[in-house]
Amino acid sequence: MPYILAIESSCDETAASVCRDGVIISNVIYSQEVHKQYGGVVPELASRAHLQAIVPVVDEALEKANVLLCEIDAFAFTQSPGLIGALLVGAEFAKSLSLACDKPLIAVHHMQAHVMANLIQKPGEKSNKPAFPFLCLTVSGGHTQIVLCEGILKMKVIGQTLDDAAGEAFDKSAKILGLPYPGGPLIDKYAKDGNPVKYKFPEPKIDGLNFSFSGLKTAILYFVRDEKLKNENFVAENINDICASIQSRIISILLNKLKKAADETGIKNICIAGGVSANSGLRSSFEEMGVKEDWKTYIPPFEYCTDNAAMIAITGYYKYLAGIFEDLSVVPFARAPF
Ligand code: KG4
Ligand code: ZN
């Protein structure tokens, strides 16, 4: 009955979670507000905010789980990828706990954890986990990947973005429209009342299972600039249709490649994960495609899509079962393969 305490601090969320025997029993997320005024995450401020938040966030996760620190069997933390100063805070905190409690330390890859969010079980809920092998479209602020998952922790990236990530495509488009950071959820909100075929944005022709979003961003930039020359209120007057059209193109780029991956591998268990999988349009289009293609589709609950420590805890739990531990010399990395 191992208890795992997990810490996530790779970007602008300070998060902690406790899992007992693979079931998440607490999940606390503090989203740093300080970055809003700068239009993006400021690494130095993120590190400072993690330092301030980490003790209360971990305390709250233990309290909500009704577990004492001395009952924890292992401490998991996000090792990579992420902002190095932000990762260092979570890594050093987990190392200190591991040393003080004399319990093992587990390092977790953030992108692997996003995929593993599909294996999370909540107390009292029937488990509905994807069977292996499965494909996972992981779409976040820094990454866009199609991952082939052949077993627990046995993952291979078979397609990825060559430039911007899907989350960046949302956030940068939002910035062009004058919306605050992070723009993804706002585009989602405005798109709900818009016409997705009103404006046509290009779909890039990229070989294989890779993605590209930089051309789309440039097309949106020029489109908005030209329309504003004709009508300076163009964005305000058409915000719903513009957002719906941008969102629809990002979704079609993602799902067309996912379908290609499913066709090429013959795999029909398909998951999505990462912050952009919180997008309501992507969730519904993915499920529609699943029905059409006869896939079994899986989407993590909303709170496990954007950055959270429950996904670190579940990955930590499987690493605990496999006996994969680190010593106190372990360090985080800004970038690292699986
Ligand atoms: O996975 P995540 O929380 O952090 C990273 O690991 O990057 O993903 C953050 C990204 C941001 O780009 C944010 O705009 C996007 O996820 N996002 C969304 C939505 N919610 C979060 N994008 C579109 N629609 C949403 N509802
Ligand atoms: Zn993430």
Euclidean distance between CA atoms 219 and 196, whole angstroms = 16
104 CB less than 6 Å from ligand 1? no
- The answer to whether 200 touches 216, Cβ cutoff 8 Å, is no
State the pLDDT at residue 37: 85
The ligand with the least distance to the CA atom of 140 is 1
Q: Judge whether 171 lies within some domain.
A: yes
Element at 62 (helix H, strand E): helix 43-65
Q: Judge whether 333 lies within some domain.
A: no
Residue whose C-alpha is closest to residue 213's, from 165, 273, 179, 181: 165
State the pLDDT at residue 127: 76
246 CB less than 6 Å from ligand 1? no
Q: Provide the CB-side half-sphere exposure for 273 (13 A, CA).
A: 28
Q: Are residues 22 and 141 in the same domain?
A: no
Euclidean distance between CA atoms 30 and 209, whole angstroms = 35
Q: Are residues 143 and 290 in the same domain?
A: yes
- The answer to whether 74 touches 300, Cβ cutoff 8 Å, is no
State the pairing for strand pair 154-160/144-151: antiparallel
Dump the DSSP string for 215-255. HHHHHHHHHHHHHHHH-TTHHHHHHHHHHHHHHHHHHHHHH
Residue whose C-alpha is closest to residue 159's, from 131, 141, 142, 137: 137
User: Which of 115, 170, 280 gets mutated to test ligand 1 (max ligand atoms within 8 A of its CB)?
Assistant: 170
Q: Judge whether 125 lies within some domain.
A: no
164 CB less than 6 Å from ligand 1? no
Report which protein residue has its CA nearest ligand 1's atom 1.
275
Q: Are residues 80 and 108 in the same domain?
A: yes
Q: Are residues 175 and 52 in the same domain?
A: no
pLDDT mean for each 10 residues of the chain (338 residues): 96 97 96 89 97 98 98 98 98 98 98 96 83 97 96 95 96 95 95 98 95 96 98 98 98 98 98 96 98 97 95 98 97 94
Q: Judge whether 149 lies within some domain.
A: yes
Q: Are residues 42 and 190 in the same domain?
A: no
Q: Judge whether 189 lies within some domain.
A: yes
Place of tokens 């805890």: 313
Question: In total, how many domains does the chain have?
Answer: 2
State the pLDDT at residue 111: 96
- The answer to whether 332 touches 88, Cβ cutoff 8 Å, is yes
Q: Are residues 151 and 200 in the same domain?
A: yes
CATH code for the domain in which residue 253 is found: 3.30.420.40
User: Which of 35, 116, 138, 140 gets mutated to test ligand 1 (max ligand atoms within 8 A of its CB)?
Assistant: 140
Q: Are residues 75 and 111 in the same domain?
A: yes
Q: Are residues 22 and 142 in the same domain?
A: no
Q: Judge whether 163 lies within some domain.
A: yes
| Cα separations in angstroms, 131 against 11, 22, 29, 152, 174 | 30, 16, 29, 10, 37
SS3 156: strand
- Judged by phi (left if over 0) then psi (alpha if -120 to 50, else beta), residue 95 lies in alpha
Q: Is residue 278 classed exposed, middle or buried when 0-12, 13-18 and 19+ CB atoms within 10 A define those classes?
A: buried
Q: Judge whether 221 lies within some domain.
A: yes
Euclidean distance between CA atoms 204 and 215, whole angstroms = 7
Q: Are residues 18 and 89 in the same domain?
A: yes
Q: Are residues 160 and 207 in the same domain?
A: yes
Which pair of tokens denotes residue 191?
């798109």
Cα dihedral 307, 312, 314, 319 sign: positive
State the pLDDT at residue 39: 82
Q: Which domain holds residue 30?
A: 3-120+304-321
The neighbour count for residue 3, using CB atoms within 10 Å, is 21
Q: Are residues 250 and 308 in the same domain?
A: no
